[in-house]
Structure formats: C-alpha cells, structure tokens
C-alpha cells in the first residue's frame, strides 16, 4: 500500500548545524555501504554471467558488470565532491544478496533455464536494494544542498531502474516459460 506523504501543519524545523552534521554522517555511511556493495557486486555479476544458459542474460549481466564498475567510480567522485575519502564499509544486505545468488548457482543445474530464472530473481533483488539505496541517498543529498551529488546519484538510480526493467523483459519474454517446462 502506498501512502501519500502529507505536510505537517507545523512549520518545518530548520536544519541546524548539528542536525546537518548528523545527517551528513548518515549520508557518508550510506555512501560507504553502497560503495562496498558496488565493488563486490561487480565480482558476483561476472560469476553470474559465466553461469547463465541464455546468451541474452549473459550479455545483460556483462553490461551490468561494466555499469556497476562505473557506479563505483561515480561513488568515488561523490566522496570527492563532499570532501570525504572514498572508503567502503561492509554491506551486510549486499553480502546476503550475493550469498543468495551463490546458493542459486549451487542448487540449480548448469545449462538450465531454471538456473537463469533463479539468477534473474537474485539480480532483481539486488537491483531493488540498489534502487532503494540510491533513491534515499539522492534525497539526503538534496536535503544537504548537494544538488550536483543528487544529480550523479539520479544517473545511477536511472541505470539501476533500466537494468531491473531489462531483467523483467528477459524473464517475461522466454526465460520463465522455458523454465516451466524443464
């Protein structure tokens, strides 16, 4: 259920310097988290691409590997723009999602569309995590007055959405149907 945000009847609280500092700390922590996620996802996507049945899915994973490396570089650029050193912090969520993809590889037969269906499912879970992360980081960047950073985060957010859409199209075009008859 989607709920519409309503404006409070009280006037908005002005952001104080200490509030801004706390929010910036949260923002930087989120950047560290997604930086680790992107760097580790690139390795996982390479493994996923090598283990697909469909050439189209393999190409999609290879393209997303390249984009993921660009996303990590973009996060490094963002760190520089806000005066911080690029630093990764282990992302438990992405670690779990990558482990789930590995479990799919272990539990499905090589050369099957069932495996491809499972890999699409795992990849879309990753995409949705990234979409949520980049959307939230973009909104915080806007609140902190970093419109240039928000624009960079929006670029990545757009690419993540496109990848999710492409994976859905592959699943609906033939992967799920072929998996259902194996």
What tens digit of pLDDT does each residue of 117-175 get? 999 999 999 999 999 999 999 999 999 999 999 999 999 999 999 999 999 999 999 99
pLDDT score for 10: 43
Q: How many Cα atoms sit within 13 Å of 135 on the Cβ side? A: 9
**Predicted confidence (pLDDT) per residue in 24-51, tens digit:** 999 999 999 999 999 999 999 999 999 9
50-60: average pLDDT: 97
Helix (H, G, I), strand (E, B) or coil at 9: coil
Range of the domain at 158: 18-180
pLDDT score for 17: 58
Instruction: Please count the structural domains in the chain.
Output: 1
Residue 12 lies in a domain: no
Residue 86 lies in a domain: yes
Residue 168 lies in a domain: yes
Residue 10 lies in a domain: no
DSSP, residue by residue, 96-151: HHHHHHHHHHHHS-TT-HHHHHHHHHHHHHHHHHHHHHHHHHHHHHHHTT-HHHHH
Residue 9 lies in a domain: no
DSSP, residue by residue, 46-69: HHHHHT-S-HHHHHHHHHHHHHHH
Structure tokens at 59: 């190409």
Residue 142 lies in a domain: yes
Q: Residues 143, 159, 60, CA angle at the centre, nearest 5°?
A: 155
Residue 140 lies in a domain: yes
Residue 13 lies in a domain: no
What's the whole-model pTM score? 0.88
Mean of all residue pLDDT scores within the chain: 92
For 157-171, letters b (16+ CB in 10 Å) and e give bebbeebbebbeebb
Structure tokens at 157: 């957010």
CATH number, domain of 106, equals 1.20.1260.10
Helix (H, G, I), strand (E, B) or coil at 87: coil
């Amino acid at each position: 259920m989607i709920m519409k945000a309503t404006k409070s009847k009280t006037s908005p609280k002005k952001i104080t310097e200490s509030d801004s500092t706390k929010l910036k700390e949260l923002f930087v922590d989120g950047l560290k988290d997604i930086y680790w996620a992107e760097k580790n996802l690139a390795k996982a996507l390479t493994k996923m691409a090598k283990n697909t049945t469909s050439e189209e899915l393999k190409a999609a994973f290879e393209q997303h590997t390249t984009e993921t490396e660009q996303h990590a570089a973009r996060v490094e650029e963002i760190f520089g723009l806000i005066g911080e050193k690029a630093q990764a912090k282990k992302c438990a969520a992405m670690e779990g999602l990558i482990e789930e993809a590995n479990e799919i590889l272990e539990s499905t037969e090589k050369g099957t569309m069932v495996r491809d269906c499972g890999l699409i499912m795992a990849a879309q879970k990753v995409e949705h995590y990234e979409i949520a992360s980049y959307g939230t980081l973009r909104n915080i960047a806007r609140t902190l007055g970093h419109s240039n950073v928000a624009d960079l985060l929006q670029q990545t957010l757009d690419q993540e959405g496109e990848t999710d859409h492409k994976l859905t199209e592959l699943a609906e075009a033939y992967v799920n149907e072929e998996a259902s008859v194996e």
